[in-house]
Amino acid sequence: MECPACGSDCVQLAPEILRDLPTHFLPCEKCTMRALDKRAPLPSREYALPCSCGKRFIDEVFAQMYVIMLEEGDLTASDPLLAVGSPLIHPGMAMDRPPFLPQKSLLLLSGKAQEKAAQRIVAEVPEIRGVVRTAGFIPGLVSLNPGENPRVYTLLAGCDVRADIYPLATGPLVVYKQQALIHVEFPRAGYPKLRSIAAHVGTSPVPFFVDACSGPGTLGLAAACLGVPHVVMNDAWYASAFWSAFNLKVNRIYFDVEKVRIYKQPEEMAGHPVAREPVKIAETVGRQIIEVYQGDFRMLDRVIPRDAHPVAALDVFDKNNQKGISALLHDWKERMGGDAFVP
């Protein structure tokens, strides 16, 4: 598949990315492992090269990036190894041990790296997909205030598209996202949000489910995988709405559909980064109806019939604001009927 962000072949359909998943981050019998102290400087400007199998222990990958950033002046010799940045593996999943990384399997989020070092890292470190400069905020839409645009990180080099894997009874769900534009939500052990979705969908699936603040679509896609006949995913932020649509296509094998139609591309949607009136971004053709909208979830009553009585997940950002969440749930039920919950 062509990547919507960089135009290369760095994205795959679910069956393709899942094919070698059980051994993707495991070493071969020849791989070596050197555990480094992340809170101390690199002991020397040395690092191991990838094994003949093409994989390398993650600490050695960080050692090479540390050396590059030292040489370019982005780090000093007294900086600890963790100053390089934060790793996001591709594909991401809950893990019980540090990974041995194959090519193009790591995205670096760094507050220290500058463009020259980032370009070298992508060119010289085979495990790296891209380097993203972070700042003191969370990317994406974190406010419900009308007219407030999200802030985003900066892609310095490579591609920032990566996937997370979420286990379901129907098979692993693959969720891509453009990490400079969407906040990090790495899969947690036990996958509590997916358990919440499964509990509300039920074994005899509810007829209508709404993922009102969909992000890249994880919860809505999970509901569709669990057999809900009609699913609506929605997000006001264009990047989230688009990747919800794209992930619908990536995971098409799980749905009772003939095709997926995507009506908007990110270049066009970026001209209207935050939408209020819901605009249809994608939909399926087939027995199972799955729709994706970009818009304010509080205006979804304009596209969802009142008699649909949907079960809705409101995965809002600020879950500590209990008073605000209670008001949102009450308002949703007044407008839409049905049931609503915060996963």
Q: Provide the pLDDT for residue 19.
A: 93
Alpha carbon distance 286, 337 (integer Å):
26
| Average pLDDT along the chain, 343 residues, taken 10 residues at a time | 94 95 95 97 97 98 98 98 97 91 98 98 98 89 67 96 93 96 76 92 94 96 97 96 98 97 95 93 98 95 92 82 84 90 91
Q: What are phi and psi of 108, to 5 degrees?
A: -100, 125
Contact present, 14 and 253 (Cβ < 8 Å): yes
Q: pTM score, two decimals?
A: 0.93
Q: Provide the pLDDT for residue 265.
A: 95
Q: What are phi and psi of 281, to 5 degrees?
A: -100, -35
Q: Provide the pLDDT for residue 186.
A: 64
- Residue 146 exposure: Cα atoms within 13 Å on the Cβ side: 7
Alpha carbon distance 340, 213 (integer Å):
12
Sorted by where each begins, the domain ranges of the chain are: 21-134, 161-341
Tokens of 138: 């969370």
Alpha carbon distance 299, 155 (integer Å):
32
- Torsion angle, CA of 122/128/133/134, rounded to 10 degrees? -170
Q: In terms of C-beta distances under 8 Å and separation of at least 24 residues, what long-range contacts does 256-259 make, across chains too?
A: 256/286, 256/287, 256/288, 257/284, 257/285, 257/286, 257/287, 257/288, 257/290, 258/284, 258/285, 258/286, 259/284, 259/285, 259/286
Alpha carbon distance 98, 60 (integer Å):
12
Read off the amino acid at residue 202. G
Q: Provide the pLDDT for residue 151.
A: 87
Contact present, 133 and 113 (Cβ < 8 Å): yes
Preceding amide of 91 cis, omega within 30: yes
Contacts of 337 (CB under 8 A, 6+ apart): 306, 307, 308, 309, 310
Q: Fold for 161-341, please state it.
A: Rossmann fold (3.40.50)
Q: Provide the pLDDT for residue 189.
A: 64
Q: How far is CA 168 from CA 172, 190, 191, 195, in A?
A: 6, 11, 10, 9
Q: How far is CA 194 from CA 118, 152, 222, 301, in A?
A: 35, 27, 7, 25
